[in-house]
């Protein structure tokens, strides 16, 4: 993804990324060199997180809108939206952004706010997704990119990746396997959006006019 501050290319989409911590999804987006995308800023809900250092090393404008500086969700979201809107983004990308957003905020970015979540939604919204999947004994787990709606970790699904859950998995090994797939599907979703292949229809459905459909089943454990 290109991240120079200004561009003469009017077809390029402006993207703002929101983070709260490590920033590995943000990093793969920065390093993907996606055509048609320009990262205008990275905004963190926490100061001093590793993701901010990574963004700065990539020469990206960074901002902190700390949730701790605000008495309630409404005032935090208003400050966050005011900061985001300085960059007039076509797309706002939640990349490990760990705050619950108000419905006013979500409505303001309707159709241009996407999130990545470490489970195959609608299963395992919320926290501790890998622990919960292991506890339930599911054999297939994964990650989801979706448009954000006021319902936490719900919303029209853009792309998912599934991974097998192995007999000796721990939450950490499963997280690692899922995160690898997050790093593959998030750049894909952002590229689709910025290339104009992806949109959210008025009826709430995802419209994607570039889709390979290999159709192979993922079976775990595998057939013998």
Q: Residue 125's CB: how many other CB atoms inside 10 A?
A: 14
| Residue 148 is a binding residue for ligand GAR (CB under 6 A) | no
| Residue 44 is a binding residue for ligand GAR (CB under 6 A) | no
Q: Which stretch binds ligand GAR (CB under 6 A): 21-29, 78-86, 101-109, 157-165?
A: 21-29
Quick one: 201 exposed, middle or buried, by C-beta within 10 A (0-12, 13-18, 19+)?
A: exposed
Cβ closest to ligand GAR, residue 36 vs residue 94? 94
Extract long-range pairs of 213-216: CB within 8 Å, 24+ residues apart: none
For 204: left if phi > 0, alpha if psi spans -120 to 50, otherwise beta; the answer is left
Residues with a catalytic annotation lie at: 117
Cβ closest to ligand GAR, residue 12 vs residue 64? 64
Interactions with ligand GAR, residue window 86-105 (CB under 6 A): 95-96
| Residue 24 is a binding residue for ligand GAR (CB under 6 A) | yes
Q: 4: Cβ–Cβ under 8 A, 6 or more apart, which residues? A: 38
Candidate residues 118, 142, 155, 187; the one interacting with ligand GAR per rule CB under 6 A: 118
Q: Where do contacts with ligand GAR occur on this chain (CB under 6 A)?
A: 19, 21-25, 51, 95-96, 116-118, 153, 179, 182
């Amino acid at each position: 993804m290109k991240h120079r501050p200004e561009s003469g290319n009017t077809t390029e989409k402006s993207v703002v990324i929101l983070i709260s911590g490590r920033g590995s999804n943000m990093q793969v987006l920065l390093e993907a060199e996606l055509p048609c995308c320009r990262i205008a800023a990275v905004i963190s809900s926490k100061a001093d997180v590793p993701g901010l250092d990574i963004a700065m090393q990539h020469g990206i404008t960074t901002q902190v809108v700390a949730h701790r500086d605000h008495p309630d969700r409404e005032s935090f979201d208003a400050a966050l939206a005011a900061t985001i809107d300085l960059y007039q983004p076509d797309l706002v990308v939640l990349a490990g952004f760990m705050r619950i957003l108000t419905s006013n905020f979500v409505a303001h970015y309707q159709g241009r706010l996407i999130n990545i979540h470490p489970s195959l939604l609608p299963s395992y919204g919320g926290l501790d997704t890998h622990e919960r999947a292991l506890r339930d004994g599911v054999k297939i787990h994964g990650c989801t990119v979706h448009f954000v709606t006021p319902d936490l970790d719900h919303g029209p699904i853009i792309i998912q990746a599934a991974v097998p859950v192995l007999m000796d998995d721990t939450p950490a090994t499963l997280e690692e396997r899922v995160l690898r797939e997050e790093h593959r599907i998030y750049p894909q979703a952002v590229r689709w959006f910025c290339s104009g292949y992806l949109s959210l229809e008025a009826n709430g459905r995802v419209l994607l006019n570039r889709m390979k459909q290999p159709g192979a089943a993922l079976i775990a454990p595998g057939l013998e």
